[in-house]
Amino acid sequence: MIDAPIDHVAIVVKDLDAAIALYTQTLGFSFVYREIVADQGIEAVGVRTGNAVIELLRPLDEESPIARYRGDAQTKLHHTAYRVADIRAELARLKAAGIRLIDEEPRRGAHGNTIAFLHPKSTGGVLVELCQPPGGGPPREG
């Protein structure tokens, strides 16, 4: 993960439209994508700042673990994703280094990315995602 840029910081939200308005209209981010990621039970909206994205996540099911994590907060920081060129190689390296993985096998994330989560038990409680863009590694265009 050496020199892996931050791909996105994810924030789980209650009111997606309010969060989009805050980030785009008030804070000045630009809108990038909006899609349902059924596999993860979320609707994801990417808003860009500089070369990184804030990903706003709305749980599709208010009884899901991600909704329970957010609780009554309007918005809550959820995870940080790092962009890697070869996600399988990176997962193998981290596993060999003793990191427990949520996703032994990478899966599809938002925006065409291939993603995998490390287990928070191995990262002091903070959720960390590895993220390989459709074309391969860095950089993200735009």
Stretch that binds a copy of itself, among 38-46, 61-69, 75-83, 103-111 (CB under 8 A): 75-83
User: SS3 for 103?
Assistant: coil
Stretch that binds a copy of itself, among 6-14, 38-46, 60-68, 109-117 (CB under 8 A): 6-14
Q: Is the peptide bond before 139 cis (omega within 30 degrees of 0)?
A: yes
String of contacts with a copy of itself for each residue 16-55, x by CB under 8 A: --xx--x---xxxxx------------------xxxx-x-
Q: How far apart are the first and last CA of the chain?
A: 22
99 lies in the site for a copy of itself, by CB under 8 A: yes
Tell me how many residues contact a copy of itself (CB under 8 A): 42
Q: In whole angstroms, how far apart are CA 18 and each of 42, 91, 136? A: 16, 36, 33
Candidate list 80, 95, 102, 114; residue touching a copy of itself; CB under 8 A = 80
Cβ-count burial 102-134 (b if 16+ within 10 Å, e if not): ebeebeebbbebbbbbbeeebbeeebbbbbbbe
Instruction: Name the residues that contact a copy of itself, by CB under 8 A.
Output: 1-6, 9, 11, 13, 18-19, 22, 26-30, 49-52, 54, 73-80, 82-83, 94, 97-99, 123-126, 128, 138
